[in-house]
Structure 1
Amino acid sequence: MARTPTHLLSPADQVRRRGLRTMKGVALGALIFMAVLFAFSFAFQQEIPALAYVRAAAEGGMVGALADWFAVTALFRHPLGIPIPHTAIIPSRKDEIGQTLGEFVETEFLRGDVVRTKLEQTAISARLGEWLSEPAHAERVAAEASVMASSVVQALSDDEVRDVIEELAREHLIAPDWAPPVGAWLGRIIDAGGHHSAVDLVADTIAAWLEANKTAFTGLVSRRLPSWVPSVAHRFVDDTVYNEAVKLVAAVRADPQHPARIAIDGYLARLADNLQHDPATIGRFEDAKLAVFDSPRVRELAAEVWTTAKAGLLHSLADPDSGLRRRAAQALAEIGARLTTDAALQRRVDSWVTDAAVFLVDRYRHDIASIITDTVERWDPAETTEKIELMVGRDLQYIRLNGTIVGALAGLAIFSIAHALLG
């Protein structure tokens, strides 16, 4: 089996490989030591009878070492490359091991009662609140959420968003009749006297314009007089018209019950009523609305709305000092503070999280566990074998070393008992 080059392994796997090689050397050294001891004691046991006990111990140690070497090696590969049945268990049964592991996780860990018990013993909301109440943590969450939101906004198709805005505008803004609501709104304003301020503003504006534009009245009326009328009369007519206009505006401004104001009130009241009940007025108003909001204008408006909103949102999400980011971080910190002090809120949040987790586990536990099975199936057998050997191989070499020691003690004990009983 080809091994992964050392430079391609992670630092942790490189450490594991060095430890595995060291323990393999120790286990092999114990076997060689037992073989040398066996050869020495076998050669000189006739001269030194006590060496028979040493030979028995060495013989048992070699048997134990070889048996455990075979057992350990058979897990990962064929011993000595010989395809002995029931060897190279991990590479040959990789998929079955993955399936069994997935089933074990599904039946023993991804059970609703197990998840509920664990979550109920964990103060989820309190811990989350303590963590969020730290300003740095709240800002970090806000920053990560901003990155995610920016990605979502940038992934949206501008044309599709414009189409949605246009459709919503047509359905909810343009298609419904405006005249009755506008008439009702105007009627409420008139009943409350809210239009008086607008009339005052118009009167004040006209007064200011008259004061600054007296020359605009020169010839306004006099140019329509016969040519034989003297120029003095022309000026008199123009001045009279201007002065009367100034007096009228001043009177309207000074008298809340001026006939002009009453006439405006009556006109607005009739307009409000006609917008609600007169089909002709309603029709003209709706025709004017459709003329203003024709198809090209609606699409241009939708495009401008989305472009402006998108640019502003992306700028606010990207700027750590923007009002949106600051308010988001502040809101998260406030939520964290509440979670640490509000026991009722803690119970509700813990209950929501627990119920949601149990629901997801009960509904999708097979799909979750299948991740293990599918992942193991995609692994290369040789790579899988090497990864598992690096994880547990060092401990398995202790089995070989222990087998050598236990075999030696067993061989010595068997020989001693047999010699004591049989001579």
Structure 2
Amino acid sequence: MQVNSQPTTRQDPPRPAGPAPRPPKAGAAVVGHQLSAGDAEKAAALRKMKLVALGLLIAMAVIFVFAFALQKEYPWLQYVRAAAEGGMVGALADWFAVTALFKYPMGIKIPHTAIIPRRKDQIGASLGEFVETNFLSEQVVQEKLASVDVARKAGQWLAGPGGAERVAKEGAAVIRGAFKVLNDDDVQAVIEGMVRKHLLAPPWGPPVGRMAERIFAEGHHHKLVDLLVDRAADWVDDNHETVSRLVSDRSPTWVPQFVDGLVGDKVYVEILKFTRAVQSDPNHQVRQQIDKYLNDLAQDLQHDPAMIARAEDIKAQVLGDPEVRELASRTWGTVKSALLSAVDDPDSELTVRFKAAVRDFGSRLVNDAELAGKVNAWIGDAAGYLVRTYRSDIAGVITDTVARWDAEETSQKIELQVGKDLQFIRINGTVVGSLAGLVIFSAAHLVFG
């Protein structure tokens, strides 16, 4: 169970006059904040172990008193007295050693005691340096990532049930959040600037001419010419009366009407024959002239200053300032509306395709060893770069955090975490001291009689 990384500080309200409140029991509470359930359990265990260690010390003291008082009457109690005496010495020595880590023993400022409160900043700096040197190593991080095989595990999650849905859901939240943050006027200004820079600023003539030259050289325009010729032939075929009337309207008034009819019929027949000939002959002279005209136009757009200037005039007329602003506004409005509608609808084509793409990518990570290796290498390189560049900053978080902690509270936090285990040192010291006292007394008794 973790404890909070930052102790909270608070101002205590003024206390009423009267006897000073008793200090909290060591390990029972952490100053400045309420204990969590886990910390309360640790505090109870710490108190229990302290009572056990203290009980052993008291037991050694009681045994020592009785053994010392009765050893003349019962000489074998000398060995018991020696063991109890050694146990008391060991218990007291280890009590002093453990207590000196967290506070001044019995409040006496003995040198080299209360180590953690006095040297917490140095401990934080050493801890940060230790983490930076031994854990925030580029080689260590890359080796760990390589052993984990992040790409395959990520692929299994993405390809499995719920992975793609989770990614789509989080992606939709990101898109909605981005649209809330983005200012429409600013985005439209960016789009307008891009249109002006990349679409309007460059001259249109040469690139259009080069594109047209390539299209005409490959014959892609022939279908359009065929369509125009077919429509013209169909129109002539369906408008015999219109052609005859046009001839009659333009003939002199003194020409008899039946002559107008004959001339109109003749003109109609010739026009129809002409259009049918152009329609049926892919190498007709008219088609060749159209090809020549279009090729000349493509060359002029590239090399003729007058034609280039005319193209620029057309561009300015078609895409003036109002038109560009309207284009930017419509573009952004359309994109925004389409994306919001798509991400809000789990059955939209965009969402369905996105989920399918995520699942497909996950399956490829699982099944394609080469792709998984590349992704793992990218992740390792990225992690190595982050560690190499920011390792000192990351380790500095530990140093800075410990430096902000209150000294007494820091000591109590650490004691709460490791104090229970440290009490075993006192217990072991009592036992080892007893055995040592017994062995020393026995050896001396044997040697010196």
What TM-score range do you get, normalising by the shorter chain? 0.7 to 0.9
Partner of residue 78, structure 2: 52
Shift of 1:353: 3.5
Shift of 1:191: 5.2
Partner of residue 127, structure 2: 101
- State whether structure 2 residue 437 is matched by structure 1 residue 418: no
CA RMSD of aligned residues (A): 4.3
Amino acid paired to 1:92: R
Partner of residue 96, structure 2: 70
Amino acid paired to 1:98: G
Distance across 2 between alignment mates of 1:186 and 1:292: 20
- State whether structure 2 residue 409 is matched by structure 1 residue 354: no
Task: Specify whether residues 107 and 184 from structure 1 end up closer, same or farther in structure 2 by C-alpha distance, changes over 3 A only.
Answer: closer
* Residue number among 294, 305, 325 corresponding to 1:279 in the alignment: 305
Partner of residue 295, structure 1: 321
- State whether structure 2 residue 36 is matched by structure 1 residue 25: no
* Residue number among 400, 405, 409 corresponding to 1:374 in the alignment: 400
Partner of residue 162, structure 1: 188
Shift of 1:33: 2.2
Shift of 1:288: 2.4
Amino acid paired to 1:83: K
Task: Specify whether residues 116 and 353 from structure 1 end up closer, same or farther in structure 2 by C-alpha distance, changes over 3 A only.
Answer: same
Distance across 1 between alignment mates of 2:37 and 2:235: 84
Shift of 1:100: 1.0
Task: Specify whether residues 397 and 313 from structure 1 end up closer, same or farther in structure 2 by C-alpha distance, changes over 3 A only.
Answer: same
- 8 Å contact from structure 1 (residues 6, 14) kept in 2: no
- 8 Å contact from structure 2 (residues 57, 88) kept in 1: yes
Task: Specify whether residues 421 and 157 from structure 1 end up closer, same or farther in structure 2 by C-alpha distance, changes over 3 A only.
Answer: same
Distance across 2 between alignment mates of 1:246 and 1:18: 114
TM-score, normalization by structure 1? 0.78
Task: Specify whether residues 92 and 253 from structure 1 end up closer, same or farther in structure 2 by C-alpha distance, changes over 3 A only.
Answer: farther
The superposition leaves residues 10-63 of structure 1 with CA deviations (integer Å, 9 ceiling, x where unpaired) of 333232222212212221222222233333334444444433333332222222
Distance across 2 between alignment mates of 1:378 and 1:343: 48
| Mapping 1:19-418, distance limit 5 Å | 19-152=45-178, 154-190=180-216, 194-195=220-221, 197-198=223-224, 252=275, 256=279, 271-418=297-444
Bigger mean CA offset, 137-146 vs 165-174: 137-146
Task: Specify whether residues 212 and 89 from structure 1 end up closer, same or farther in structure 2 by C-alpha distance, changes over 3 A only.
Answer: farther
- 8 Å contact from structure 1 (residues 35, 62) kept in 2: yes
SS in structure 2 opposite 1:303?
Answer: helix
SS in structure 2 opposite 1:87?
Answer: coil
Shift of 1:194: 4.5
Show structure 2 runs of 5+ residues with no match.
1-22
Distance across 1 between alignment mates of 2:219 and 2:98: 96
Task: Specify whether residues 101 and 301 from structure 1 end up closer, same or farther in structure 2 by C-alpha distance, changes over 3 A only.
Answer: same
- 8 Å contact from structure 1 (residues 42, 51) kept in 2: yes
Task: Specify whether residues 75 and 338 from structure 1 end up closer, same or farther in structure 2 by C-alpha distance, changes over 3 A only.
Answer: same
Distance across 1 between alignment mates of 2:401 and 2:332: 43
Show structure 1 runs of 5+ residues with no match.
none
Instruction: Give aligned pairs, total.
Output: 415
